[in-house]
A and B are shown apart, each in its own frame.
Chain A
Amino acid sequence: MSRLLHRVAAKRRFEIFSRTVAAVVGGYAFASLFVVAVSISSRDARADAVLTGMMTSFVVYVGAFLWCFSASSALRAWLGLLLCALPFAAAALSASRSVW
């Protein structure tokens, strides 16, 4: 019984650690991809696009952060983050191809 409790506690600790990394690091990476995608969204108003991306990025970061702690499991938190990041990552990749 005590061994079981111990395992539950260890699992919970790992869950919290994983969620924290997802929120702090994953959330920032997600917000960064969002910024890149917004920045390259307009060629004519480049400066406006970059500034808009930067200004709105913190909402995205905070949203991702909260998602990581409200998802029902750490795995779902990571998967949700990755899924939402896909379109931004695709946009960023296609842009970097056209730049270089």
Chain B
Amino acid sequence: MARVVVDVMLKPEILDPQGQAIAGACERLGFSGIRGVRQGKRFEVEVEGEADDAALAEVRRMAETLLANPVIEDFSVRVE
């Protein structure tokens, strides 16, 4: 069994009010040097067998079909 991680982020041009709110909180709490925050999602996908090319292709297909909305989000797939 292997673990494949899918990270999903709003595209850079899409407004992220949650990230902005977090950045605002950082400033209030005194965390210095924070220029901006964008919030995304991390999916940990357990696959059967090895994370070979076929398995990664399947996860990639799953990411673009279900995990991410390609209209507003980008995703990346990696083995961890």
B and A form one assembly? no
B binding-site residues for A, Cβ under 8 Å: none
Interface of A with B (CB < 8 Å)? Answer: none
